[in-house]
Structure 1
Amino acid sequence: MSWRPLAGVLSAQAVAWTGTRLSAIALPWFVLTTTGSATQTGVIVFAEMAPYVVAQLLSGPLIDRVGPSRISVAGDLVSMVAVALIPALFALGLLHFGLLIPLVAVVGTFRGPADAAKTVFLPDATRAARVPLERGTGIAATIERLASTVGPAVAGVVVAAVGGPYALVVTAVLFGSGALIVAFAAPRQRPPAPAEAEAEDGYFRRLRAGMAFLRQDRLLRSMAGMIAVTNLLDAAWTSVLLPVWARDSGHGPATIGLLLGVLSGCAALSALVAAGIAHRLPRRPVYLIGFLLDGFPRFLPLALGAPLEVTILVYAVCGFGSGFINPIVGAIQFERAPQAMYGRIRTLLVAVAWSGIPFGGLAGGLLVARLGLSPALLACGAVYLLVTTIPAVLPGMRDEWSRKSKQDKEVTSP
């Protein structure tokens, strides 16, 4: 038994995620405060996340072919350079909106494959540590949530102290650190070689094989579709609705970091619990309850003008519910995919699930411009509740979850 590969993977994910979460606050706040436009803020989010999703979609066959290490290191290094250029150009007085768009597009293009490649290490790393897959994905989810706690907290302080563009220096350093960790500490082995016939296939045939697999798996397909909608709403909330609320309420960027820190901190605690017990729990009820707690309640206190203390309490409950979601989602994805297709299946699933994120900022900006902040928050919360409730009333999906849960019980019960 060796924990070294798992520790390397989780460390690389931690620093990369922390940098991403930091920039997710610093960059929108910079655009919002310098332009005063929620719409332009949404455009910047779209410019980064649209290439992110497309690049993830197309990178799967490359990850399977050349291994995740090279893709992860290269993506982190290019992202580091592109992010570092933003504060450098701003300091020189050369940064303008038209130049910021291609810079964030480069970041999105290379972050997508790099993030996907890091997750492909996980099954081999958990096997080396001899732990259940749910425990490995649970630990990974805990690390992600901790990064989501540290990143916003650091961002809130740094942005308030030096401004949005200079906070991105920390993001660049973290991306570079992620590249070093993967290069020296992540698992060295490549994924097992695919069958000989598949090894001779070209890039697009391998990509189509991954798409065909995903089309045939109803649970994975429906799960990715639902998460696509919730991710769109999450993106609208994080990149536009929450910053506009912080500005209009007078709380400022530090409060954004506080709320996201509370949300992610509680999620990290529940993800840690999930790492220990998720393989013993019925997956479908836990998955649905997690979304019920994490989803629409986040929008209500902001829309209703609740006191900050009440908002913090609501976000703590939301965070506790969300921590159980990713361990279950991650375990199901890896269990159902052939090992030789991990890269393709993982990137396709993430691409579908993240396909709404580029439009989240645009949708949030348009809703605020057309309806105002409170109606926009209530509308997003209502849609969130609807799409996360649908799986609970579809008989076919109940049967699919039930069948899978029985199989898992046979495999994982002591």
Structure 2
Amino acid sequence: MRRLFITLLAANALSVTGTMLSMLAVPWFVLESTGSAALTGLAAFSTTFPIVVSAAFGGTLVDRLGLRGTSLLSDLASGLVVLAMPVLSWTTGLSYPALLGLLFVRWLLATPGETARKAMVPELAGLGRVRIERAVAAYDGVYRGAAMVGAPLAGVLIVWLGASALLVVDGVTFLLSALLIGGGVPRSEGAAGRGQGGYLSDLRDGLTFLWRDRLQMSATTMIVVVNMLDTGVTQVLLALYARDVAHDPRAFGLLAGAVGAGALAGTVVYGAAGDRLPRRLTFGACFLVAGVPRVLILALGAPFPIALGVTVLSGVAAGAINPILGVLQYDRIPARLRARVIGTMTAAAYAGMPFGGLLAGPLTEVAGLTATLYAFTAVYLLASIPPFADRAWRELDRDGPARVKRRWTGSAGGTP
């Protein structure tokens, strides 16, 4: 039965690889066809905003439609929409407004599939007798590995094939993912609880559950803040450090890539040893190390090799964060609410990201790079306090999940 879990990992790897191909192919395609940086930026917005909308409101539909069916339909529809872009470009022509519309629909459709696959993890891991810590680490590791492979692969394929052909490859990856889920996961293993009330009632149940769970609300708030900061660091502050301190544009790419490489290694380490570590202290320490040192070392103006080494170590610490959060979600969220609660948390995590660059850019103009880096370091530090100071986080190490779930044994359409 472990084959079911491996099938899920393979399908998600294909889907994530396609996403990374699309993230590079689309801006290049827009630049090639319009030559406008402003229009390229607008296209980027059309790929992020629908993720927030779909994650917030699509999770309830995932719970009602079923996990396997949602993943299958999401990948099929996403693949066909992506394939429509190059086909239209090669035949009747693809106008810019039509491209924006297709991008919006593509990401609106793709997000429920990601939510559904993530919600399948505990059941399929249990059938394969894979410990939940290792299962979540494997899922996150495959995601990170596919993202790392997908980005450089996209660059190579753009040179070899062009952006339009790369979009064809992107569409095919989604269709292959759908084929794996459709043929490798039985219907009974992708089931989800259907709400007995209406859509708005089910949506309210998910929001209410998250609001009443202090631990998960605290974790979600931490992620919202740190994702916003990470976006500002990656999009603005690293580029300025590379230009003004390291005096080498290659430093930008190396520092950005070092976080991903370290995180992949950290995910592997947590998958091997995470079930023997105290969750709360591990999460708190890793969250602190993942943010503060790599920004502080830049504020101190350290030589680039030292900054790169510290960034790798911070990435290793970051690799344990998502697996622990995944275990937290699977332990505490009842299966029938899982997709809608995870969707809400995902939407919140994405919602703050666009503001990171808006915060970092003007602040740097006013206060300078060093002062901005120190300010970001201070906020990273403040965001890392809850696991050490908030009593709710003690539940991460004791048997609180059953108590939480017992409060939600009523009908899906009712109020707890």
Structure 1 residues 10 and 238 mapped into 2: Cα distance closer, same or farther (>3 Å)?
farther
Worse-superposed segment, 266-275 or 2-11 = 266-275
Structure 1 residues 130 and 297 mapped into 2: Cα distance closer, same or farther (>3 Å)?
same
Gaps of 5+ in 2: 403-416
Q: Which residue of 2 aligns with 1:272?
A: 268
Deviation at 1:301, TM superposition (A): 7.4
Q: Which amino acid aligns with 2:62?
A: I
Task: Give the distance between the partners of 1:160 and 1:387, measured in 2 at CA.
Answer: 44
Deviation at 1:222, TM superposition (A): 1.3
Task: Give the distance between the partners of 1:400 and 1:271, measured in 2 at CA.
Answer: 25
Q: Which residue of 1 aligns with 2:147?
A: 148
SS in 1 for 2:351: coil
Q: Which amino acid aligns with 1:336?
A: R
Q: Deviations over 1:301-321 (max 9, x none)?
A: 778887765554344223211
Task: Give the distance between the partners of 1:53 and 1:47, measured in 2 at CA.
Answer: 11
Q: Which residue of 1 aligns with 2:44?
A: 45
Task: Give the distance between the partners of 2:137 and 2:352, measured in 1 at CA.
Answer: 25
Task: Give the distance between the partners of 1:331 and 1:272, measured in 2 at CA.
Answer: 15
Q: Which residue of 1 aligns with 2:23?
A: 24
User: For 2:386, which of 391, 394, 405 is the aligned residue?
Assistant: 391
CA contact (8 A) 1:303 1:378 kept: yes
Q: Kindly indicate whether residue 205 of structure 2 is the aligned counterpart of residue 202 of structure 1.
A: no
Q: Which residue of 1 aligns with 2:394?
A: 402
Residues 344-363 of structure 1 aligned to structure 2 (within 5 Å): 344-360=340-356
Task: Give the distance between the partners of 1:354 and 1:120, measured in 2 at CA.
Answer: 18
SS in 2 for 1:56: helix
Q: Which residue of 2 aligns with 1:101?
A: 100
Worse-superposed segment, 216-225 or 300-309 = 300-309
Q: Given the two structures, how large is their TM-score scaled by the length of structure 2?
A: 0.80
Structure 1 residues 81 and 391 mapped into 2: Cα distance closer, same or farther (>3 Å)?
same
Larger radius of gyration: 2
Q: Which residue of 2 aligns with 1:136?
A: 135
Q: Kindly indicate whether residue 206 of structure 2 is the aligned counterpart of residue 214 of structure 1.
A: no
Identity %: 34
Bigger relative contact order, structure 1 or 2 (CA pairs below 8 A, ≥6 apart): 1
Structure 1 residues 384 and 105 mapped into 2: Cα distance closer, same or farther (>3 Å)?
farther
Q: Which residue of 1 aligns with 2:318?
A: 322
CA contact (8 A) 1:29 1:243 kept: no
CA contact (8 A) 1:43 1:361 kept: no
SS in 2 for 1:401: helix
Q: Which amino acid aligns with 2:396?
A: K
Q: Which residue of 2 aligns with 1:81?
A: 80
SS in 1 for 2:197: coil
Task: Give the distance between the partners of 1:388 and 1:353, measured in 2 at CA.
Answer: 14
Task: Give the distance between the partners of 1:352 and 1:368, measured in 2 at CA.
Answer: 24
Q: Which amino acid aligns with 1:402?
A: R
Gaps of 5+ in 1: none
Structure 1 residues 131 and 26 mapped into 2: Cα distance closer, same or farther (>3 Å)?
same
Q: Deviations over 1:193-237 (max 9, x none)?
A: 65xxx7431111111111111111001011112212222333445
SS in 1 for 2:345: helix
Task: Give the distance between the partners of 1:27 and 1:307, measured in 2 at CA.
Answer: 35
Q: RMSD of aligned C-alpha atoms?
A: 3.9
Worse-superposed segment, 373-382 or 71-80 = 373-382
Q: Given the two structures, how large is their TM-score scaled by the length of structure 1?
A: 0.80
Q: Which residue of 2 aligns with 1:378?
A: 373
